[in-house]
Amino acid sequence: MNPGIKVVLGVTGGIAAYKGAELARKLMELGLGVQAVMTRNAEKFVTPLTFEALTGSPVIRAGLPEPGDDPMPHISVPRSASLMVIAPATAGIIGKMANGIADDTLSTMLLAADIPVIMAPAMNPAMYANQAVQENIARLKTRGVRFVGPSAGEVACGETGEGKLAPVEDIVSAVKEALNLKTDMDGLNVVVTAGGTREPIDAVRYIGNRSSGKMGVAIASAALRRGATVTLISGAMDVEPPTGVAFTQAMTADEMLNAVGEAFKTADMLIMSAAVGDYHVNGRSGGKVKKKEDWTISLAPNPDILMEMGKRKESQTLVGFAAETERAEEHGLEKLRNKNLDVVVINDVSRKDIGFNSDFNEVTIITKSGAVEKIPKSPKTTIAGKILDTALAVRDGSKPRT
Ligand code: PMT
């Protein structure tokens, strides 16, 4: 599951249950982790396998947990999530929640949840208009439950009136609002590089580095959550690419140059957090070199991808990293100028508690106009947000936030 924000998607039994699957896909595209919970009746309309395939996680189903399962999903699942969305929500689940009835996994979870809840009702118009349903909805609204829809129109049974599940886009908008997801990167094509390149020495050996890909993946996830279309190009990584990115693996600097060069043509922003090897092996052997006393390897310089993109730059915003061990700011500024960057993110890679293969980083962000922002040691997810704030501010020509 994605390291980002988790949403519990409750699906109840109605013909609109299939739209829950579309909603799951759209939420995943935002870079959110989605945990689907289905009622017994929901499974009569759509199979749990559909949701499992879309979300990448087993569905939590009605009934008591099996031996070996989490014994208390009704407590642990909402606690690990930021939001519950019930779509479609039947009159039954609305009534249970309004009246404190907990008789299956989803209704129990709703009572145990201390997080915001969004409900998207879908039912026959006469049922929706029924006073009991309306009173239940009014009661839940006073407790802070947010309702999206239903819309008016022809429902599955052929009758017309208010009762259709709201458009999936409206439910997604409500989720974004509830989670305070920004949309300030809507419509932007963002290319992010991550991980470390590996230059082969022979058929089995290579020159690599300690990059885990965590920094790049945090940036890609943050850009996704802010509405960007994200291409992630990575070398070797210890983490999974976020769901929703267009992913390309490029193991050597040459492969990365080709992939980045292609993606750059239609990009609005390039953020190079990959640790690209500066050299490759001259005259690499196709087979495995036999063990010998001494072995001298000759290295030749790799292309500097970022510098090359700096030359090709038209309207793209170019963000580079500087991995330094001494006189970090001075060297970072040189990279900003020499590579024609808009923003440079400087980190000290001599420290073990930040930088390479850590969940944390501490960076100095400098823009081409000379604005300097120092971000103290923070999770890479926080650093990612700050980098995007600055890159966007530079792109918009406004002052970066401090
Ligand atoms: O992956 P993690 O474990 O999360 O670690 C994150 C990180 C430490 C790798 C990351 O924060 C970082 O510092 N990335 C840049 C690593 C690097 O190659 O730095 P550099 O100072 O050598 O290069 C400067 C810039 O030029 C970088 O944006 C780099 O991507 C780029 N470059 C470098 C060499 C090269 N041949 N081509 C390039 O494009």
- pLDDT tens figures, 91-129: 999 999 999 999 999 999 999 998 899 999 999 999 999
Q: Same domain for 165 and 270?
A: no
Q: Domain ends where: 158, 179, 200?
A: 179
Domain presence at residue 152: yes
Q: Is the CB of 253 under 6 A from ligand 1?
A: yes
Q: Same domain for 265 and 149?
A: no
Q: Same domain for 70 and 129?
A: yes
Domain of 203, in residue numbers: 189-279+294-398
pLDDT score of 68:
77
Residue 384: DSSP 8-state: H
Structural domains of the chain, count: 2
Domain presence at residue 284: no
CATH number for the domain that contains residue 219:
3.40.50.10300
Instruction: Tell me how far the alpha carbon of residue 370 lies from the centroid of ligand 1, in angstroms.
Output: 21
Q: Is the CB of 340 under 6 A from ligand 1?
A: no
Domain presence at residue 136: yes
Q: Which parts of the chain register pLDDT below 50?
A: 1-3, 399-402
pLDDT score of 1:
34
Q: Same domain for 245 and 204?
A: yes
Write the residue with the smallest CA distance to atom 11 of ligand 1: 355
pLDDT score of 391:
98
CATH number for the domain that contains residue 101:
3.40.50.1950
As a whole number of angstroms, the distance between CA 118 and CA 83 comes to 8
pLDDT score of 3:
41
Give the amino acid at 162: E
Retrieve residue 203's tokens.
């058929």
pLDDT score of 402:
44
Q: What is the pTM of this model?
A: 0.72
pLDDT score of 313:
97
pLDDT score of 227:
86
Q: Same domain for 141 and 241?
A: no
Instruction: Tell me how far the alpha carbon of residue 183 lies from the centroid of ligand 1, in angstroms.
Output: 28
Domain presence at residue 105: yes
Q: Domain ends where: 161, 179, 197?
A: 179
Q: Domain ends where: 141, 160, 179?
A: 179
Domain presence at residue 108: yes
Q: How far is CA 46 from CA 20, 42, 146, 359, in A?
A: 9, 6, 25, 38
User: What are the b/e assignments for 268-293, b being 16+ CB within 10 Å?
Assistant: bbbbbbbbbbeebbeeeeeeeeeeee
Domain presence at residue 285: no
Domain presence at residue 288: no
Q: Is the CB of 308 under 6 A from ligand 1?
A: no
Domain presence at residue 272: yes
pLDDT in tens, 234-290: 999 999 998 789 999 999 999 999 999 999 999 999 999 999 999 999 988 889 999
Instruction: Compute the half-sphere exposure of residue 6: CA atoms within 13 Å on the CB side of its CA.
Output: 16
Contact 222, 214 (CB under 8 A): no
Q: Is the CB of 381 under 6 A from ligand 1?
A: no
Catalytic residue among 132, 152, 157, 203: 157
Instruction: Compute the half-sphere exposure of residue 150: CA atoms within 13 Å on the CB side of its CA.
Output: 28
Residues 6 or more apart whose CB falls under 8 angstroms from that of 66 comprise: none
pLDDT score of 163:
94
Q: Is 244 among the catalytic positions?
A: no
